[in-house]
């Protein structure tokens, strides 16, 4: 029962075989019982969730409720949620309760979903392991000594442990796909601008994109169809009709051309991960697709370009957290002025990784170094984007590994930021180009999940989900679950 898909739960709700109130109580009890060992939630919304569930039951009784009405989900703690603590995994916002909903949260609320709570995350979405959270690291349900990935590790672990049927997440350089890979679930980051960023606390504005996590592609399609929308409040939102991504899930893969980049199977990739991903691509060939070797020659520039651009944007976005308007405020000593308030509030409330990126970003944007670093990184970004433009003239989708390695031990890379940054080596380029990408389970390495990454052309989310769904109809990797979660 606990591992039913969203589509199954939706059918049971429509047939009145279970009420939303019963379903919500069931998952709240699972969170209370099991989550202390994973630390995937920062906040649970018991009273609000039951009120939403009762309202959903009233709509369902009328017989014309939206498809996801009554379905419990969780939101990454980066989405502002009216009346609910929204911390961004930081001491800086440990007391922040927004008076409004992010557009994504509002879209789900209008669809009648129930908010179980807010999931743990790397502080301000800066991290690849969910170890930088002020509220402690998230533990991987497959091996509680290992990381869940980041920055959306809380959402990934909660879905993997069946504490929620689905969850929202965000992806700035792989923060949906990498934890989805490490936790053995399905996660999708849509095209930049497809999901509104309004009310989503900003890290790097030209890279951040909201998306969803679920156990399979069919559920991800249902969630993304609800989350995606045009939003006049977000200047980067694309005014384009939203597809019903469920409609094309069963399309045949006959004639589909899959690009396999040479650069994704070279140095730095775990050999067992390479073998597992290649076997998954071979399985997709059996379903009628054909493969073609392609080159993305500027892939090697992705990590250095990202770690100039993202810190530069974060240094600007996080300047608002100054101890004056909202958030954490340091206690001042007698005689200290406003400058001391700024310095001590930010020093005490931000963690080491956030401070590191703010300093790198401020340096890269400074007058003497802007042209040498930031301007060069933006030129590299354009070259990376052009690689994909050329590739998609020949192929329909691109496939390769999501992460170079399976989940690693908590603390193993905490003293080596560069090693941590390289965990996103295969995911960063899609954010720099603004392309959609997703990860689906495709096997196991060292008894831990391994993800297949699928990259599409702009607004090709439907095609990506179709390929993922067809693969999942032919395999059962997505149905495997960690031990001790029943």
Question: Tens digits of per-residue pLDDT, 183-221?
Answer: 999 999 999 999 999 999 999 999 999 999 999 999 999
Q: Kindly give, in sequence order, each residue whose CB lies less than 8 Å from that of residue 335, ignoring residues fewer than 6 positions away.
A: none
* Residues of the chain by 3-state class (helix, strand, coil), percent to 5: 45, 15, 40
Q: Are 310 and 453 in the same domain?
A: no
CB burial readout 399-430, b (16+ within 10 A) else e: bbbbbbbbbbebebbbeebeebbbbbbbbbbb
Q: Are 404 and 363 in the same domain?
A: no
Per-residue model confidence (pLDDT) at position 402: 98
Which residue, 325, 354, 380, sits at the end of a domain?
380
Annotation says 144 is catalytic: no
Q: Which of 40, 129, 151, 315 is catalytic?
A: 151
Q: How confident is the model at residue 252 (pLDDT cuts 50, 70, 90)?
A: very high
In a domain, 149, yes or no: yes
Q: Kindly give, in sequence order, each residue whose CB lies less than 8 Å from that of residue 245, ignoring residues fewer than 6 positions away.
A: 221, 222, 224, 225, 461, 462, 465
Q: Are 144 and 65 in the same domain?
A: yes
In a domain, 213, yes or no: yes
Annotation says 315 is catalytic: no
Which H or E run contains 218?
A: helix 217-227
Q: In what order do the strands lie in the sheet with 186-189?
A: 41-44, 114-119, 72-76, 166-171, 209-214, 186-189, 437-445, 448-456, 397-401, 257-261, 290-294
Q: Which of 128, 175, 229, 345 is catalytic?
A: 175
User: What is the distance between the alpha carbons of residues 215 and 427, in angstroms, rounded to a whole number?
Assistant: 20
In a domain, 288, yes or no: no
User: What is the distance between the alpha carbons of residues 33 and 139, in angstroms, rounded to a whole number?
Assistant: 15
Q: Which of 5, 7, 20, 76 is catalytic?
A: 76
Q: Kindly give, in sequence order, each residue whose CB lies less than 8 Å from that of residue 410, ignoring residues fewer than 6 positions away.
A: 129, 131, 137, 139, 145, 146, 147
pLDDT at 457 over 90: yes
Per-residue model confidence (pLDDT) at position 1: 77
Which residue, 353, 380, 407, sits at the end of a domain?
380
pLDDT at 465 over 90: yes
User: What is the distance between the alpha carbons of residues 114 and 68, in angstroms, rounded to a whole number?
Assistant: 9
Q: Are 347 and 465 in the same domain?
A: no
Q: Are 151 and 243 in the same domain?
A: yes
Strand partners, 166: 214
User: What is the distance between the alpha carbons of residues 162 and 100, in angstroms, rounded to a whole number?
Assistant: 28
Query: What pLDDT digit, counting tens, does each position of 115-157 carry?
Result: 999 999 999 999 999 999 999 999 999 999 999 999 999 999 9
Q: How confident is the model at residue 262 (pLDDT cuts 50, 70, 90)?
A: very high
Strand partners, 292: 259
In a domain, 85, yes or no: yes
User: What is the distance between the alpha carbons of residues 76 and 173, in angstroms, rounded to a whole number?
Assistant: 16
Q: Are 252 and 306 in the same domain?
A: no
Query: What pLDDT digit, counting tens, does each position of 306-328 carry?
Result: 999 999 999 999 999 999 888 99
Q: Are 407 and 454 in the same domain?
A: yes
Cβ atoms 182, 147 nearer than 8 A? yes
Cβ atoms 113, 69 nearer than 8 A? yes
Annotation says 118 is catalytic: no
pTM over 0.85: yes
CATH classification at residue 248: 3.90.1300.10
Per-residue model confidence (pLDDT) at position 414: 82
- How many domains does the chain divide into? 2
Average pLDDT of the segment spanning 379-400: 98
Question: What would the two tokens of residue 221 be?
Answer: 């399609």
User: What is the distance between the alpha carbons of residues 94 and 117, in angstroms, rounded to a whole number?
Assistant: 15
Range of the domain at 341: 300-380
User: What is the distance between the alpha carbons of residues 355 and 103, in angstroms, rounded to a whole number?
Assistant: 29
Q: Are 80 and 128 in the same domain?
A: yes
Place of tokens 């390929």: 467
Question: What would the two tokens of residue 129 be?
Answer: 């392991």
Query: What pLDDT digit, counting tens, does each position of 4-16 carry?
Result: 999 999 999 999 9
Q: Are 329 and 241 in the same domain?
A: no
Which residue, 380, 407, 436, sits at the end of a domain?
380
In a domain, 266, yes or no: no
In a domain, 281, yes or no: no
Q: Are 202 and 345 in the same domain?
A: no
Hey, CA dihedral for 52, 58, 59, 61, is it positive or negative?
Answer: positive
**Distance between alpha carbon 87 and the CA centroid of its chain, in Å?**
17
SS3 200: strand
Q: Are 337 and 422 in the same domain?
A: no
Q: Are 308 and 414 in the same domain?
A: no
In a domain, 284, yes or no: no
Per-residue model confidence (pLDDT) at position 419: 85
In a domain, 292, yes or no: no
Cβ atoms 64, 31 nearer than 8 A? no
């Amino acid at each position: 029962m606990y591992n039913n898909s969203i589509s199954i739960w939706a059918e049971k709700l429509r047939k009145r075989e279970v009420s939303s109130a019963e379903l919500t109580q069931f998952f709240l009890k699972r969170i209370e019982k099991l989550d202390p060992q994973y630390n995937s939630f920062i906040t649970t919304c018991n009273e609000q969730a039951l009120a939403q569930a009762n309202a959903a039951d009233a709509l369902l009784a009328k017989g014309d409720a939206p498809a996801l009405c009554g379905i419990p989900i969780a939101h990454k703690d980066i989405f502002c949620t009216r009346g609910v603590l929204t911390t961004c995994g930081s001491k800086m916002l440990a007391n922040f309760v927004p008076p409004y909903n992010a557009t994504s949260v509002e879209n789900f609320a209008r669809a009648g979903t129930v908010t179980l709570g807010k999931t743990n995350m790397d502080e301000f979405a800066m991290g690849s392991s969910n170890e930088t959270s002020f509220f402690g690291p998230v533990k991987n349900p497959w091996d509680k000594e290992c990381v869940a990935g980041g920055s959306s590790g809380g959402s990934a672990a909660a879905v993997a442990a069946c504490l929620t049927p689905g969850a929202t997440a965000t992806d700035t350089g792989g923060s949906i796909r990498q934890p989805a890979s490490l936790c053995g679930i399905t996660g999708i980051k849509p095209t930049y601008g497809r999901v509104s960023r309004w009310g989503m606390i900003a890290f790097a504005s030209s890279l951040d994109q909201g998306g969803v996590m679920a156990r399979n592609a069919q559920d991800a399609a249902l969630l993304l169809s609800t989350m995606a929308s045009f939003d006049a409040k977000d200047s980067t939102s694309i005014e384009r009709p939203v597809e019903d991504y469920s409609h094309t899930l069963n399309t045949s893969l006959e004639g589909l051309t899959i690009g396999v980049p040479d650069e994704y199977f070279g140095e730095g990739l775990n050999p067992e991960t390479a073998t597992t991903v290649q076997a998954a691509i071979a399985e997709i060939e059996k379903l009628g697709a054909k493969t073609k070797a392609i080159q993305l020659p500027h892939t090697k520039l992705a990590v250095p370009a990202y770690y100039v651009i993202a810190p530069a944007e974060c240094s600007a976005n996080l300047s608002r957290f100054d101890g004056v308007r909202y958030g954490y405020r340091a206690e001042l000593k007698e005689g200290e002025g406003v400058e001391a308030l700024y310095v001590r509030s930010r020093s005490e409330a931000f963690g080491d990784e956030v401070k590191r990126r703010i300093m790198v970003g401020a340096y890269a944007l400074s007058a003497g170094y802007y042209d040498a670093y930031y301007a060069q990184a933006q030129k590299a970004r354009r070259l990376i984007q052009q690689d994909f433009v050329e590739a998609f003239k020949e192929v329909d989708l691109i496939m390769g590994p999501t992460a170079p390695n399976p989940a690693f031990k908590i603390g193993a890379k905490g003293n080596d930021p560069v090693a941590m940054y390289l965990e996103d080596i295969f995911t960063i380029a899609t954010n720099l180009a603004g392309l959609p990408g997703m990860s689906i389970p495709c096997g196991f390495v060292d008894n831990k999940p391994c993800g297949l990454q699928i990259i599409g052309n702009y607004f090709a989310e439907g095609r990506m989900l179709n390929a993922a769904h067809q693969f999942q109809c032919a395999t059962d990797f997505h149905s495997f679950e960690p031990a001790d979660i029943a």
